[in-house]
């Protein structure tokens, strides 16, 4: 991106001044190097989002921003329904509620070492992954509707985990306002055999070692200790979420034409929040969130079962689960007035700060855990939401490293077997059903996650707490 087209506010904040059809400015949080490496398409998409009806304050891009469908991935925008605000399926994304869940083990890497190979291969056998992967769960139509209505709470009720898990999940494991009737039968059919599966692409299950602690007090409150292991899951709503996004993008395109809403890009197709199409999409999207939350809850149960085969007394409590492809109704201060807004976070993580009433009591004094997945074989991070983030970008932070190379380009640079061997040499065991997929997800196909997290920290969006390094990674 041409940095001369931006106005510098600080070393980590840049403005695209309001011009043309833009209703608000664009704000990018990143350092100069990350900005210069972003595609010009990011600036263009930030500007197009800024022109949507009812947008509030600014169109934001996080430090990991890159070109996406309609919105940039790493894009954040809030809309006021009382002022004609819209909801956009492209502003949420196709993998609705794709997110990260992290569990604590309480055991060190040294204590785990004798079990590493056996547990790694058991996880590979027990956790379905890959394109079109299916699990052992078969849902009836009534069961599917119950799952879409109640999310992780449905999974816990059916024996997949405990009630304590729900206290450590965004929105306590259930998106309110979900409407299973707004989800097509085709979308439900795509999902009926996919619960409890990882999927493919950048989704993974990792066992990670805590390599560095930046804030001892918050780390202790989160249950993090140096050299102990955590387990992270990165996946979403699978076929159902993709189908919901596909169908409603088409419906919204018709609405924008009927209402004469001008779009800089047809991929930004949207509908007024208070319109029938807008309400139907929100109901379906929330059902997609519940699908993803239930999926990660079932995976948590499968992981716990696998570990207990070797380590019967290991509990694996949940640290947190947070999504990064959502549109959530939240209260935010705008010009000294509290307003209910609909916050799109596409490839961005909610990051509520200390004292926020939605956080469970044990986390409220410290802020929400913000789980940042790295590219395969590189560091991941745990951050904490900050108070100032609410005034920066509606309590939002980055979600990962962010791609800097397309999957097609990656295939021209790497071979999957070579990537696996190289990472094994560095101490990371990769288990995969697709070497092609590994090549597409090669670490260097992504931005430098350390730089992305540092920019997030320095911009005040979220605070660094711990750095993690993978020792086992199960890929689709």
- Which residues lie across from 151 on neighbouring strands? none
Q: Contact at 8 Å (CB) between 408 and 333?
A: no
Residues 87-118 have pLDDT tens digits of 999 999 999 999 999 999 999 999 999 999 99
pLDDT beyond 90 at 271: yes
Condensed to tens digits (0 to 9), the pLDDT of residues 358-369 reads 999 999 999 999
Tell me the residue length of the chain.
Answer: 476
SS3 state at 96: coil
Q: What is the pLDDT of residues 384-442, one digit of tens each?
A: 999 999 999 999 999 998 888 888 898 888 888 888 888 888 889 989 888 888 888 88
Q: Residues with Cβ < 8 Å from 422, sequence gap 6 or more?
A: none
pLDDT tens string 133-177: 777 788 899 999 999 999 999 999 999 999 999 999 999 999 999
Which candidate in 399, 413, 425, 457 is catalytic?
399
Q: Of 320, 305, 317, 345, whose CA–CA distance to 196 is shortest?
A: 305
Distance CA 265, CA 68 (A): 12
Residue 399 annotated in active site:
yes
Please report the sign of the dihedral spanned by the C-alpha atoms of residue 73, residue 77, residue 79, residue 84: negative
Helix (H, G, I), strand (E, B) or coil at 340: strand
What is the pLDDT at residue 441? 86
pLDDT of residue 416: 83
With bands split at pLDDT 50, 70 and 90, how would you rate the model's confidence at 130? low
CA separation (Å) from 471 to 145, 164, 474?
38, 27, 10
The predicted pLDDT at position 470 comes to 95
Per the CB < 8 A criterion, the answer to whether 271 and 220 are in contact is no
Q: What is the pTM of this model?
A: 0.96
pLDDT band at 41 (very low <50, low <70, confident <90, very high): very high
Q: What is the CA radius of gyration of the chain?
A: 21
Instruction: List, as own/partner pairs, every contact residues 411-417 make where C-beta atoms lie below 8 angstroms and the sequence separation is at least 24, other chains included.
Output: 411/436, 411/439, 411/440, 413/439, 413/442, 413/444, 413/445, 414/439, 414/442, 414/444, 414/445, 415/439
Q: Please report the domains of the chain, with CATH numbers, ordered by start residue.
A: 3-404+446-475 (3.90.1860.10)
Lowest mean pLDDT among 147-156, 185-194, 247-256, 299-308: 185-194
Q: From CA 455, how far away is CA 449, in angstroms rounded?
A: 10
Model pLDDT, residue 255 = 97
pLDDT at 453: 97
231 with 209: CB under 8 angstroms? no
- What confidence score (pLDDT) does residue 225 get? 98
For the cut 80, the answer to whether the pLDDT of residue 132 exceeds it is no
pLDDT of residue 437: 85
Q: Specify the pLDDT at position 105.
A: 98
Contact call for residues 103 and 320 (beta carbons, < 8 A):
no
- Average pLDDT rounded to a whole number, residues 215-233: 98
More confident residue, 357 or 134: 357
- Please report the pLDDT score of residue 283 as a whole number: 98
pLDDT, one tens digit per residue, over 280-320 is 999 999 999 999 999 999 999 999 999 999 999 999 999 99
Q: Which residue from 135, 142, 153, 154 is spatially nearest to 180, judged by alpha carbons?
A: 142
Query: If residue 277 lies in a helix (H) or strand (E), which one and from where to where?
Result: helix 276-310
């Amino acid at each position: 991106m041409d940095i001369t087209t931006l106005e510098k506010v600080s070393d980590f904040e840049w403005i695209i001044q309001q011009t043309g059809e833009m209703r608000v400015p664009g704000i990018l949080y990143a350092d100069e190097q990350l900005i210069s490496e972003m595609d010009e398409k990011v600036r263009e998409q930030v500007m197009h989002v800024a022109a949507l009806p009812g947008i509030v304050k600014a169109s934001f891009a996080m430090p990991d921003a890159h070109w996406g469908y309609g919105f940039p991935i790493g894009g954040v925008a809030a809309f006021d329904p009382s002022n004609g605000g819209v909801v956009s399926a492209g502003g949420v994304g196709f993998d609705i509620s794709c997110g990260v869940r992290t569990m604590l083990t309480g055991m060190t890497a040294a204590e785990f070492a004798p079990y590493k190979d056996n547990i790694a291969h058991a996880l590979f056998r027990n956790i379905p992954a890959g394109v079109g992967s299916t699990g052992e769960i078969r849902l009836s139509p009534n069961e599917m509707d119950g799952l879409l209505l109640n999310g992780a709470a449905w999974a816990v009720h059916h024996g997949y985990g405990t009630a304590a898990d729900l206290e450590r999940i965004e929105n306590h494991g259930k998106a309110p306002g979900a409407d299973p009737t707004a989800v097509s039968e085709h979308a439900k059919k795509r999902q009926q055999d996919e619960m409890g599966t990882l999927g493919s692409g950048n989704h993974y299950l990792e066992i990670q070692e805590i390599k560095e602690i930046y804030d001892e007090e918050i780390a202790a409150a989160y249950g993090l200790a140096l050299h102990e292991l955590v387990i992270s899951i990165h996946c979403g709503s699978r076929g159902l979420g993709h189908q919901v996004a596909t169908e409603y993008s088409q419906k919204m395109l018709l609405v924008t034409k009927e209402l004469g809403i001008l779009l800089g890009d047809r991929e930004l197709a949207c509908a007024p929040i208070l319109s029938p199409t807008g309400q139907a999409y929100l109901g379906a999207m929330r059902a997609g969130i519940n699908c993803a939350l239930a999926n990660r809850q079932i995976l948590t149960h499968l992981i716990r079962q696998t570990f207990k085969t070797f380590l019967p007394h290991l509990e694996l409590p949940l640290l947190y689960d947070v999504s990064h492809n959502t549109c959530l109704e939240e209260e935010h201060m705008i010009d000294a007035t509290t307003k209910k807004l609909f916050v799109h976070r596409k490839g961005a993580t909610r990051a509520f700060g200390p004292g926020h009433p939605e956080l469970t009591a044990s986390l409220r004094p410290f802020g929400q855990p913000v789980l940042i997945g790295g590219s395969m074989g590189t560091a991941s991070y745990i951050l904490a939401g900050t108070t100032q983030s609410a005034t920066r970008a509606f309590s939002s932070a980055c979600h990962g490293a962010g791609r800097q190379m397309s999957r097609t380009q990656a295939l021209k640079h790497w071979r999957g077997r070579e990537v696996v061997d190289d990472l094994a040499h560095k101490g990371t065991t990769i288990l995969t059903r697709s070497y092609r997929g590994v090549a597409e997800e090669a670490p260097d196909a992504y931005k430098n996650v350390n730089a992305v997290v540092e920019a997030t920290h320095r911009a005040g969006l979220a605070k660094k707490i711990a750095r993690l390094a993978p020792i086992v990674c199960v890929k689709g």
